[in-house]
Amino acid sequence: MGDRSLPRVLKFQKTHIGCIRYYIMEYTTKVEGENCDRKVLLFALSTCGWCKKTKRLLQELKTEYEYVDMDLLHEEEKKEVRKKVKKHNPSMNFPTIVIDEGDVVIIGYDEDRIREELCR
């Protein structure tokens, strides 16, 4: 397999625009945003149109978030991340948005609900 350009983020604490963030998985990619009062993690597929639409919406809302494109992971990484997704979404539908470590889980592209949760 060729070299993948996915960044590897180890678990650590970082301050950005006055917010403290904990990276919960080393397979995530972080997208900076002005709105960082909620911890948002997106499980997605790189080829999924609804997942791409969700990323665009999060960026439109200027939401800081982390995401992982499951289909771009190596098999061992996929197994580990699958376990985390199944905790919140046993049917493994994408996109899956986990807000505040599972206080809120949005399965599928639901623009109204995403806006409601992130714009309050």
Domain limits, the chain:
30-118
Which residues in the chain come in under a pLDDT of 50?
1-24
- Enclosing H/E stretch for 115: helix 111-118
The domain defined by 30-118 folds into: Glutaredoxin (3.40.30)
Q: Whole-prediction pTM value?
A: 0.79
Six-digit token string for 78: 């996929």
Q: What is the pLDDT of residue 16?
A: 39
DSSP output for 50-96:
HHHHHHHHHHHTTB-EEEEEGGGS-HHHHHHHHHHHHHH-TT--SSE
The count of other CB atoms within 10 Å of the CB of residue 99 is: 19
Q: What is the pLDDT of residue 6?
A: 41
Q: What is the pLDDT of residue 25?
A: 55
Six-digit token string for 49: 């149109």
